[in-house]
Amino acid sequence: MYRHDLAEMDLAELEQSLETMGHPRFHARQLYQWVHKRAVTDFADMTDLGRDLRGALAEAFRISTPEVVRQETSSDRTAKVLLRLEDGQLIESVFIPDTPANTFCLSTQVGCAMKCGFCLTGKMGIIRNLTAGEIVGQVRVLTRELGMLQSRFNIVLMGMGEPLHNYDAVMKALRMLNDEHGLAVNPRRVTLSTVGVLPALERLATEPLMPNLAVSLHATTEDQRDALVPINRKYGLKDLLDACRRFPVKRRERITFEYVMLKDVNDTDEDARRLVRLLNGIKAKVNLLPLNEAAGIPYERPSDARVNRFAKIVADRGVTVSVRKSRGRDIRAACGQLITESTRLRSPAQQLAALLPIS
Ligand code: SAH
């Protein structure tokens, strides 16, 4: 018999569903707490619900939960978890401790359609969107596996996928995570990172539950960005920055501009000065991401001296700048390194990545 997936339901949908089945609505809150706050997925263990109700629920619902295939912990305590979804697709989620908060890095798609020239996930292509329940499911699994059900954590949507290319599921997931009967994650603890899918970015600007925004800029001219971030050919740098200028940023908050640093490509003093000029009039901070090199990626990481010189030029002109410390590189959990072998599709890049020794 077909059972509805409770993991996909927000609280209102769950209430509605119980009511349709002839059960009191208030049980929805109890159920939501069991699933999200306590990571319990067996109805038999939901001890504050009557035995008959538990039986009826087990017949009507399933609670799909990503299955942990493998967990790797890096020397810096970063943990990468490989998860298998109900249809067999694989995704990765990362736990990054103390930066200064504990942070979960979540995937929003299986693969990614954006094809940024320096990103391994992009090499996979897009396989499918994640559902809201699968995005939230990563948090349910991570909190359970890492013993963090009682802990505070931040969330960055910086795993596999482009969150604004899967808008509805991402926003529903944020609402589900925010629910006070679940984990009550404040949207201020969530950062959504995007290449700048403009119509979706404009829509995000009107959301009641607004995460922090990070924009993957990576270039300072249209030509340069066209080459590195192909979606720039459709939604260009200038329009993206104009949208950022209009974006409602709360008091004392800023938009983060991520800038991957590629040796001799976008790392010159002139790039640094141009970057500052572009960000004029935007409440911005810059996060430099020295490239995480990988086989199949035709770029090199600049020297630390070059990165520091670039950072100094930006800082001297009054823009806050930080250099992202690369975490979990020994387990290939760092930015742009999330790639999984799928049972259905295995691209040449994936095959290559699977053969490589972990550096
Ligand atoms: N699609 C979203 C979410 C991915 S976030 C986005 O692009 O913003 C991951 C961040 O890591 C992005 O800024 C991405 O451009 C960056 N990144 C990708 N590959 C990288 C690499 N090899 N080295 C360093 N950063 C990389």
Give the Å distance between the CA of 351 and the centre of ligand 1: 21
**What are the phi and psi torsion angles at 284 (to 5°)?**
-125, 150
81, 139 contact by CB (below 8 A): no
Q: Is the CB of 336 under 6 A from ligand 1?
A: yes
Q: Give the pLDDT score at 357.
A: 44
Q: How many CB atoms lie within 10 A of CB 29?
A: 16
Tell me if 291 CB under 6 Å of ligand 1. yes
Convert the pLDDT of each residue in 201-258 to its tens digit: 999 999 999 999 999 999 999 999 999 999 999 999 999 999 999 999 988 899 999 9
Residue 327 has pLDDT above 90, yes or no: no
Give the atom of ligand 1 at the shortest distance from the alpha carbon of 158: 5
Mean pLDDT to the nearest integer, 286-302: 95
Pocket test residue of 103, 167, 193, 255 for ligand 1, highest count of atoms within 8 A of CB: 193
The yes-or-no answer on residue 202 being catalytic is no
Is residue 120 very low, low, confident or very high in pLDDT (cuts 50, 70, 90)?
very high
Distance, in Å, from the CA atom of 10 to the CA atom of 62, rounded to the nearest integer, reads 15
Q: Is 111 helix (H, G, I), strand (E, B) or coil?
A: strand
Cβ atoms of 334 and 92 within 8 Å: the answer is no
3-state secondary structure 230-298: HHHHCCCHHHHHHHHHHCCCCCCCCEEEEEEECCCCCCCHHHHHHHHHHCCCCCEEEEEEECCCCCCCC
CA of residue 237 to ligand 1 center, whole Å: 17
- Tell me which DSSP letter residue 66 carries: P
Measured distance CA(68)–CA(62) in Å, rounded: 18
| Cα dihedral: 242, 243, 246, 251 (round 10) | -110
Residue nearest to atom 24 of ligand 1 (CA): 291
pLDDT at 355: 47
Q: What's the pLDDT at 349?
A: 54
- The neighbouring-strand residues paired with 289 are 260
Ligand 1 near 118 CB (within 6 A): yes
What is the C-alpha separation between 293 and 290, in angstroms, rounded? 9
Q: Confirm or reject: Cβ of 335 under 6 Å from ligand 1.
A: yes
Determine the residue of 157, 260, 339 to mutate for testing ligand 1's pocket, defined as the one with the most ligand atoms within 8 A of the Cβ atom.
260
| 60-71 pLDDT, tens digit each | 999 999 999 999
State the Cα–Cα distance between residues 8 and 318, nearest whole angstrom.
45
Residue 193 alpha carbon, nearest atom of ligand 1? 8
The residue type at 272: A
Distances (CA, A) of 154 to 19, 32, 124, 192, 284: 34, 21, 27, 11, 20
The question of whether 112 is a catalytic residue gets the answer no
Q: Quote the pLDDT of residue 207.
A: 95
Q: Determine the pLDDT at residue 358.
A: 41
Give residue 248 CA to ligand 1 midpoint distance, Å.
Answer: 23
pLDDT at 342 over 50: no
Which atom from ligand 1 is nearest to the alpha carbon of 293? 22
Cα 115 to ligand 1 centroid, rounded to whole Å: 11
